[in-house]
Structure formats: C-alpha cells, structure tokens
Amino acid sequence: MGKTQDVVTREYTINLGKALHGVNFKQRAPKAVTAVKKFASKVMKTTDVRVDVKLNKHIWSKGIRNVPRRIRVQISRKRNDDEDATEDLYSFVTVADVPNGFRGVGTKVVDDV
C-alpha cells in the first residue's frame, strides 16, 4: 500500500482570490467550487471529490459575486464502499473554522478518532 492509498485527513488554506482573479461576477461562486475541487484532487490524488453542503453554503454566503478570498478546508481521503465504483478512494471536503485569522496556519494533519 503506497502513501497515496492511505486514509488521511488534513487541513489546508485555499486562496480563492488567486483562483478567481479576472473572473466575471456571475461565474465567481461556481468557479470557486470548481477551484476547491481541483485543489482537493491535486493534493489528495483522487479524481472523485465530494463537497460538503456546509462548504458550499460558506462559499455562496456572500452571494455569487463576493466570494471569500481565503477559505480553510478539511480534506479527508476515505475508502469508497460502493461496489461498482471505479476508484477505491474518494476525497471529502468540508469547511474548517479559523478562530484567529489565517496568519501562521499552515497545512495540518488531523487525527481521526
């Protein structure tokens, strides 16, 4: 079993302002969701990425135009229990709370209990 086959949970900060620079107003929130999925696919090395409802609500909280510049997410690589699935792992992305702002918080491995 390789390192990409392990079940793991990590917290990341995604800079959505960089991903949405120059994007039309009516496409900003949908592109932000796509950018989060692309980021999770890249760091967890899975093509099946599922976004939590709370994360979607957080991205859309200020409307379609005014997407938050940064967002703290918790990405979990989990086993796929579906028999007819093409991949045995999928990534689940949910929003993580940031009580003191984004300064100094890097990537953090979360212990699943």
What pLDDT digit, counting tens, does each position of 6-34 carry? 899 999 999 999 999 999 999 999 999 99
- Which residues touch 24 (CB under 8 Å, ≥6 apart)? none
Q: Are 97 and 110 in contact (CB under 8 A)?
A: no
What number of CA atoms fall less than 13 Å from residue 25's CA on the CB side?
A: 4
What's the pTM? Answer: 0.90
Give the Å distances, CA to CA, from 12 to 18, 23, 71, 110.
Answer: 15, 23, 8, 11
Q: What angle is formed at CA 52 by the lines to CA 59 and CA 12, rounded to 5 degrees?
A: 70
111/50: higher pLDDT:
50
pLDDT tens digits for 44-71? 999 999 999 999 999 999 999 999 999 9
